[in-house]
């Protein structure tokens, strides 16, 4: 007689050895089939098969021995299966453990593929996406936590999950936070200021001084155009914008327009000339200062450096200092994003979005970019919310950073295609004289300003050692470059206010920037807390003397148009 152990889902675990062997063989066969056609060395395949069968047999025996295999579930060390429901149900524990074994085996097979580095990375990424999507925790029929909640709520959790699903379908993206809690200008992006200039690409916001005196040299922030600027002004307690104003700087910030069909054909040159360079001109005009401190964040740093190079080619050096936050100028090391980019992909984008496309250009939709970045960390930014929102019917907690993350922006196709080809694909921007922008040969080494380069150690979008290469590209600032590395990732590492006392940062002992990033790190010293205080001290030395703070916004030719945060940042993709 054959007995079975049945979960609440109706899934069964065979207790007959012959059935078990058959099930194991079937699973192994499916795994080999899924990886067929790949160049796998025979010894590696044989070892993987042997290891798989041994581990599967061990799991099978453990399941037979333990009526309540808490040990098996707890050993997984995987938060998807950490709840007691997985451990208490023998079938669920077995399913989870078999899934993890299959996942490990598939990833080991992907690692064993013989081929060039990029091909191997792409295979690994694709397999990881499939593995994460196939987790039993993602499916109601296999998730005992979701089933328990459905029983306890008499089905209300399922009904609520369907409501969440319908709402997300209507809004066009997966909810990562309770978006109803936040409103731009009401409880995010609240630092007081006014729009003092605008054109078809951006609004220029001037912020109200919070000190009686300000430094004579103004400050200009260039945020990334692929996101909204208020990542630097989420809440008063974690606002880099407010912090900068509190340090006595007269601050101006670019707020990018969320691209629509009216600017769908705009180019990289127009973003440089009509936005970054234009913003510099307007700040100079409003303040009367020819020199200003500048800061660029992520793509905003690439735009800022390009603009300053263009001005250098015209004989101008308006920046008395440059700060680059998680920015790439040399794109030889772009981390996981390199997987997506090759000549075929770039040509396809140029034909569908760029100047060669019908109509001379169309929009890259913001949701496409947002989805790409989310699937770089699918368990944290996708499947976690599928399970919580839809299977359990839970409303995600309010979180300002995730609200900002979901507030996506469109980009003009021609601008995006130029950027894609000349940075990520061909790395032309880092080659002196290789590209022409706004009629000028770009040489980033022509920028003479002292430069503060910040990178985040766990950044998966801008690897810290990739950002470190900025120190070698900006040859005009040699001897005047300070490189600082913070803990955490692309956003959390940057938005790390001192008052929180969180994380740490590393500073080179003598501010030397050797060619090798590892050599710098070997000599760097770790300091507790935020890097903001180090940056503030460095910036102070480039800000000039203090003068009386202005009593109003703009000047006679630049009247306040509307209060901050302005209209542009409220436009939805």
Which of 225, 298, 417, 438 is catalytic? The answer is: 298
Structure tokens, 235? 């809440």
Separation CA 103–CA 98 (nearest Å): 8
Let me know if 438 is a catalytic residue. Answer: no
Cα-based angle 255, 261, 267 (whole degrees, multiple of 5): 65
Give the distance, in angstroms, between the CA of residue 514 and the centroid of all CA atoms in the same chain.
27
Phi, psi of 174 (to 5 degrees): -75, 130
The burial of 432, by beta-carbon neighbours within 10 Å (0-12 exposed, 13-18 middle, 19 or more buried), is given as: middle
CB 47 within 8 A of CB 34: no
SS3 content of the chain, % helix, strand, coil (to 5): 50, 15, 35
Torsion sign across C-alpha atoms 354, 358, 362, 364 = negative
CB 110 within 8 A of CB 124: yes
3-state SS class at 504:
strand
CB 341 within 8 A of CB 424: yes
Q: Is the peptide bond before 565 cis (omega within 30 degrees of 0)?
A: yes
Separation CA 395–CA 409 (nearest Å): 24
Contacts of 240 (CB under 8 A, 6+ apart): 232, 233, 494, 495, 497, 532
Residue 78: count other Cβ atoms within 10 Å of its Cβ. Answer: 17
In terms of Cα–Cα distance, which of 569, 572, 573 is closest to 198? Answer: 569
CB neighbour burial string for 443-461, b if at least 16 within 10 angstroms, e if fewer: bbbbbbbbbbbbbbbebeb
CB 458 within 8 A of CB 493: yes
Torsion sign across C-alpha atoms 389, 394, 400, 401 = negative
- Please name every residue paired with 487 in a beta bridge, in sequence order, or none if there are none: none
Active site residues: 298
């Amino acid at each position: 007689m054959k007995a079975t152990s049945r979960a609440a889902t109706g899934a069964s675990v065979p207790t007959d050895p012959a059935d078990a062997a058959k099930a194991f063989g079937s699973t192994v066969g499916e795994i080999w089939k899924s990886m067929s056609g790949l160049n796998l060395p025979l010894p590696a395949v044989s070892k993987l098969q042997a290891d798989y069968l041994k581990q599967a047999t061990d799991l099978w025996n453990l399941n037979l021995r333990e009526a309540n295999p808490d040990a098996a579930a707890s050993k997984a060390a995987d938060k998807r299966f950490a709840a007691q429901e997985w451990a208490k149900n023998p079938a669920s524990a077995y399913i989870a453990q078999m899934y993890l074994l299959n996942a490990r085996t598939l990833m080991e097979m992907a690692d064993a593929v013989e081929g060039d580095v990029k091909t191997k990375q792409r295979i690994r990424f694709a397999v990881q996406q499939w593995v994460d999507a196939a987790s039993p925790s993602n499916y109601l029929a296999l998730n005992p936590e979701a089933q328990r909640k459905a029983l306890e709520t008499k089905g209300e959790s399922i009904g609520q999950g369907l409501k969440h699903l319908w709402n997300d379908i209507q809004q066009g993206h997966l909810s990562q936070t309770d978006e109803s809690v936040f409103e731009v200008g009401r409880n995010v992006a609240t630092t007081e200021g006014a729009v003092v200039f605008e054109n078809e690409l951006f609004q220029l916001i001037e912020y109200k001084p919070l000190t009686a005196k300000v430094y004579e040299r103004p400050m200009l922030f260039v945020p990334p155009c692929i996101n909204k600027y208020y990542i630097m002004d989420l809440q008063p307690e974690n606002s880099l914008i407010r912090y900068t104003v509190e340090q006595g700087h007269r601050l101006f910030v670019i707020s990018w327009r969320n691209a629509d069909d009216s600017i769908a054909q705009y180019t990289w040159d127009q973003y440089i000339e009509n936005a970054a360079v234009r913003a510099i001109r307007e700040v100079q005009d409003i303040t009367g200062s020819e020199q200003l401190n500048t800061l660029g964040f992520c793509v905003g740093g690439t735009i800022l450096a390009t603009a300053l190079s263009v001005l250098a080619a015209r004989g101008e050096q308006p920046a008395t200092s440059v700060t680059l936050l998680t920015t790439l100028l040399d794109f030889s090391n772009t981390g996981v994003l390199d997987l997506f980019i090759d000549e075929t992909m770039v040509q396809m984008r140029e034909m569908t979005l760029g100047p060669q496309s019908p109509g001379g250009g169309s929009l890259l939709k913001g949701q496409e970019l947002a989805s790409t970045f989310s699937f770089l960390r699918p368990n944290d930014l996708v499947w976690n919310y599928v399970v919580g929102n839809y299977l359990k019917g839970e409303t995600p907690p309010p979180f300002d950073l995730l609200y900002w993350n979901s507030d996506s922006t469109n980009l003009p196709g021609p601008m995006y295609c130029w950027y894609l080809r000349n940075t990520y694909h061909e790395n032309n921007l880092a080659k002196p004289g290789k590209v022409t922008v706004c009629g000028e040969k770009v040489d980033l080494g022509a920028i003479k300003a002292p430069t503060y380069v910040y990178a985040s150690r766990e950044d998966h979008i801008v690897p810290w050692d990739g950002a470190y290469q900025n120190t070698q590209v900006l040859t005009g600032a040699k001897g005047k470059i300070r490189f600082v590395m913070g803990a955490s990732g692309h956003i959390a590492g940057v938005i790390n206010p001192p008052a929180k006392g969180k994380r740490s940062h590393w500073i080179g002992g003598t501010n030397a920037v050797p060619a090798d990033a590892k050599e710098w790190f070997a000599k760097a010293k770790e300091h507790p807390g935020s890097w903001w205080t180090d940056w503030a001290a460095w910036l102070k030395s480039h800000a000039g003397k203090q003068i009386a703070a202005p009593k109003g916004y703009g000047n006679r030719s630049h009247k306040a148009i509307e209060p901050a945060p302005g209209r542009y940042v409220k436009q939805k993709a």
